[in-house]
Structure 1
Amino acid sequence: MFEVLVFVYENYWRGDACPEPHALERKLSAHGFEPEEIQEALAWLDGLNLAAQNVCDSADLELEWAPEPSTASMRVYSVAEQDKLGAACLGFITFLESSGVLPPALREIVVDRAMAAPGDTVCLDALKIVVLMVYWRFGHEPDALILDELCDDAEDRIAH
């Protein structure tokens, strides 16, 4: 499924430029993706669209990308979220939040979509794809440093 999502991200720069599900399904099939992978990805994208609609409908405002952090609130992850996401993914989400690039509303969508991913656990690379797709859906391009963090393989980096 994640290969399909990466293909969609790379070929349709903005979420609103993405074709309707039936047309997208045909294009994905023409590119050689398996029908099961396509169906999983389309269902996942449908969930992303629904989550995005709920956020936009309830906000009545444009999404703020770097709101002031609230000192009166704290996100506590459920046992199921901890089990599926693991320490690396939860740490990465915390890093994005503390960097000011993942507001609480988007964090919740990221967690929701990560929990909707197939399998018992989500690896860090898959979570990064989820984050990219959430940004993509809202038409937001992360700044260069965050994009580098999302797309670059940390194992290939050389420490200075």
Structure 2
Amino acid sequence: MFDVLIYLFETYIHSAIEVFIDHDRLANDLFDIGFQKKDIYNALIWLKKLADYQIKSVFSVSVLSNPLPIRIYTEEELQRLNVDCQGFLLFLEHLQVLNIETREIVIERIMALEIQKINIEELKWVVLMVLFNIPSCEDAYNKLEHLLFNVSNSSILH
């Protein structure tokens, strides 16, 4: 399922193609490419639930004045998110790429994946997909994209 999400994000969503996609045709195309029907179906449901966040709330990306509360993870979340992933989420909060609301959406979307243990790379993709999807998070998305893909050699520590 995660491979389908990444393929869709890179091919359709991130490339800014403004097309209305017929889900049946898309599912058939993905099946023809070689993805399993169950993975396609689950990925489309995952994206639909992510899209629901566009409708439910208006998010504020500012957390400047309040100190960030500590997130206590449930046992199930701890099984999926190792210490590195938890640290990365905290790092993104301190950089103000994520706020409390977007962090919770990221965690909720991770828990909806069919992956038992999330690695950092998978987490980065989920964060990108969430920020891309929330209308008020364009700046946070751009900041994360720059952080992940435009690292200059001068910032490498020796």
- Calculate the TM-score normalised by the size of structure 1: 0.76
1:103 counterpart = 2:105? no
> Counterparts of 2:112 and 2:60 in 1: how far apart (Å)?
25
> Counterparts of 1:131 and 1:72 in 2: how far apart (Å)?
18
Residue type of the alignment partner of 1:28: L
1:92 counterpart = 2:91? no
5+ residue gaps, structure 2, are 151-155
Asked if the contact 2:61/2:96 (under 8 Å) is kept, the reply is yes
CA RMSD of aligned residues (A): 2.8
Query: What pairs up with 1:5-154 in 2 under 5 angstroms?
Result: 5-12=5-12, 13=14, 14=16, 19-54=21-56, 56=57, 59=58, 63-71=59-67, 73-138=69-134, 140=138, 142-143=141-142, 146-150=144-148
Residue type of the alignment partner of 2:91: F
**Identity value in percent:** 30
Asked if the contact 1:106/1:134 (under 8 Å) is kept, the reply is yes
Asked if the contact 1:83/1:121 (under 8 Å) is kept, the reply is yes
Secondary structure of 2:81's match?
A: helix
Shift of 1:5: 1.1
Judged with a 3 Å threshold, the aligned counterparts in structure 2 of structure 1 residues 91 and 4 are, in CA distance, closer, same or farther, namely same
Asked if the contact 2:53/2:134 (under 8 Å) is kept, the reply is no
Which runs of structure 1 show a deviation greater than 3 angstroms over 4 or more consecutive aligned residues?
14-18, 148-152
Residue type of the alignment partner of 1:27: D
> Counterparts of 2:116 and 2:66 in 1: how far apart (Å)?
32
Answer 1 or 2: higher relative contact order, Cα 8 Å, separation at least 6.
1
The count of residues paired between Structure 1 and Structure 2 equals 149
Shift of 1:131: 0.7
> Counterparts of 1:15 and 1:131 in 2: how far apart (Å)?
20
